[in-house]
Chain A
């Protein structure tokens, strides 16, 4: 059953345009049924739990309660690591203390049973059925692209919330990316913090965290970093150029959402995957890989039986392209 209650989160409607486009493309391809939670609100993010614990529990709880009402029996998926963490926290707190659950109900003035499981997109795409569907839809190979999967903090830690068995070296995204033919590298900053929550209010202190991530990715030979969170992605993508300037580096590592790579491998063009909308140029890199693979296929095909080349060639840049 590929039916889920869907909590997009605030970023999905604004900055995470590439995530949104590519996910919608993939969801459509594989026939995912998503029911957006009606009139959802912000999860409160870092700000709420920095200021007020009850607020941090109640804001996400309203969304869960709405979901229980509108989409009964469905688990909730959310693309954002922060939203995921906050929703999961509320669920955890309510499941572990009846008193807390009641208190939250009193605050939000709704029934709140904390029944649905909270899933992030990596959980969603690790579902065997979803994975199988994805695999069926692959038409291009991203072979030759060396990818560093970046998970960030909130999908890995704390363990009691995420259920991640190995928060030092998670493998869910790697397994998803491998379906596209891209190669995932072993590196050491999969779950190191990128400092997204402090990039605005404490830039001086937080910028080095980004640099370290790029440094380790580069040192381990990554062509690209892949994320599964709008905040991680924007933080790395938007600031790569600045980092290069600030630290006199020449990192040339585009930062994709994992859904973009899935979409591209399923045959999406730029407009459909949003791949050309990155701050740091990402389009060319992926196109090179696809072209190389395509030409090799073509050569092979010619050599073998002079059959027609594959239907899907390199991406044709739409009118919004460069």
Chain B
């Protein structure tokens, strides 16, 4: 993968992080550091040169760094981010949603060599799409032929089978909102789900409220999903959340043409535009 070894990349990351801090424009660099478990890393904010040396790069650097940029939407100094392909798409997502300003970010792109994360198997963009400095030679992009196979298989079930399946899943949900907090497309200042007074939905963690939350979430992020899989990864109850969002992505692809989010183009979310020649099923 690429032309650098993991150690070389790690060295380059530390070097670039220090360089960034040295300019004085960047307050900290967000990356990963090791934990007491050999097969786990954790997100890490490096503010000093010494802290930069604690940054690591290995197959367990899984957490998305991008969402941390939202912790401070109005920073006084630039935020540095170690960014893989998926992180850069997440950043693009938030940039398009006006949640971040590009000039507030210093992006250290790293060509990703795959992680111990099942979602990486279907990764179509290992190269960072947006960056200030790039580590590693860009690799050839791949196309995931199986992008929607799981959805297609599920579609074939009967209505009651589908319902039963989801009902069981949502029975497990504990309404913890971890999926929301991890999702780069979930970037509202105040989530609708927290607005109890309006009455969008109830607080209880029962099946119906969970179902409504689940489907609303699909509608809110379905046309912005970058398919990073963070929602599923962080879910403590192991709900197959991607299976819902991918359904919407698949329908969008079927109905309105090829569609992928988080690319650095000026495409708008599908629900925010229309074409006169869109298919019409409601005659």
State yes or no: do A and B touch (Cβ within 8 Å): no
Which residues of A are in contact with B by a Cβ distance under 8 Å?
none
Q: Which residues of B contact A (CB under 8 A)?
A: none
